[in-house]
Chains A and B, each alone.
Chain A
Amino acid sequence: MGEVSLQDISKKFTLRIDGVVQTVQALKRVSFKVDDGEIVALIGPSGCGKTTALRIAMGLETASAGKVTVDGREVRGCGHDRGMVFQFAELLPWLSALQNVMFGLEMKGMRGAELRDTATRYLELVGLSGALNRRPHQLSGGMKQRVGIARALAIDPKVLLMDEPFGALDAQTREVMQAELLELQARTKKTILFVTHDLDEAVLIADRIVVMRNGAVQEIMSMPLKRPRGDLGAMRGTAEFADARYRVWKALHATPETVH
Chain B
Amino acid sequence: MVDIVNSNEPSVEAETKPRGAVPSWVITVGSLCALLGLWEVFGRDINPVFGSYPSAIAQAFWELARSGKLWTAMVESLRPFFLGYGLAIVVGVPLGLVTGRFRTVEAAIGLYITAGYAMPLVALVPLLVLWLGLGFAVKVAIVFLMAVFPICINTWLGVTAVPKTLIEVGKSFVAPNTVILRRIILPATLPYIMAGIRLAVGRAVVAMVIAEFFTSISGLGAVIINSANNFDTATMFVPIVILMVMAIGLNYLIGAVERYVAPWQAEIAGRDE
| Chain A residues within 8 Å of B, Cβ to Cβ | 58-60, 78-80, 82-84, 86, 88, 90, 92-94, 103-104, 107-108, 126-135, 137-138, 143, 155, 176, 180, 183
A137 and B183 contact, CB distance less than 8 A: no
Q: What is the predominant secondary structure among interface residues of chain A facing chain B? A: loop
Question: Which of A80, A94, A108, A155 is the one whose CB lies under 8 Å from B187?
Answer: A94
Q: How far is the CA of A189 from the CA of B2 in the complex (A)?
A: 21
Residues of B within 8 A of A82 (CB): 172
B108 at the interface (CB under 8 A from A): no
Kindly identify which residue among A103, A129, A135, A137 contacts B4, using a CB–CB cutoff of 8 Å.
Answer: A129
- One digit per residue, 1 when the CB lies within 8 angstroms of any chain A CB and 0 when it does not, for chain B 130-164 equals 00000000000000000000000000000000010
Write the nearest CB–CB distance from B260 to chain A, whole angstroms: 13
Q: How many residues does chain B have at the interface if contact means C-beta atoms less than 8 Å apart?
A: 29
Given contacts A79-B174, A90-B169, contact A130 B4 (CB under 8 A): yes
**Which residues from chain B sit less than 8 Å from chain A, CB to CB?**
1-7, 11-12, 163, 165-166, 168-175, 179, 183-184, 187-188, 262, 264, 267-268
Q: Is the CB of B171 within 8 A of A94?
A: no
Q: Considering the chains assembled together, what is the distance between the CA atoms of A84 and B183 in angstroms? A: 19
A137 near B169 with CB under 8 A, answer: no
Once the chains bind, are B174 and A80 in contact (CB under 8 Å)? yes
Task: With A59-B171, A130-B4, A130-B6 given, name 10 new contacts (CB 8 A).
Answer: A79-B174, A93-B188, A94-B187, A94-B188, A126-B1, A128-B3, A130-B3, A131-B4, A135-B264, A137-B264
Option from B12, B165, B168, B173 in Cβ contact (under 8 Å) with A107: B173
CA distance in complex: A82, B174 (Å) = 10
Set of chain A residues within 8 Å of B267, measured between Cβ atoms: 135, 137-138
With most chain B CB atoms within 10 A of its CB, the pick from A107, A132, A133 is A107
Distance of A129 Cα from B1 Cα, bound (Å): 11
* B173 cross-chain contacts in A, Cβ below 8 A: 78, 80, 103-104, 107-108, 155
Q: Is the Cβ of B168 less than 8 Å from the Cβ of A90? A: yes
- CB pairs A–B below 8 angstroms (7 shown): A59-B172, A88-B165, A90-B168, A92-B183, A92-B187, A93-B264, A138-B267
**Could you tell me the distance between the alpha carbons of A82 and B172 in the complex, rounded to whole angstroms?**
8
Q: Find out whether the CB atom of B11 lies under 8 angstroms from the CB atom of A138.
A: yes
Contact A78 B171 (CB under 8 A): yes
In the complex the two chains form, is A92's CB within 8 Å of B1's CB? no
Contact between A128 and B174, CB atoms less than 8 A apart:
no
Residues of B contacting A176 in the complex (Cβ-Cβ under 8 angstroms): 2
Q: Which residues of A contact B183 (CB under 8 A)?
A: 92, 103
Q: Which residue of B lies closest to A129 (CB)?
A: B3
Contact of B264 among A94, A132, A133, A180 (CB under 8 A): A94
* CB proximity of B272 to chain A, nearest CB, Å: 15
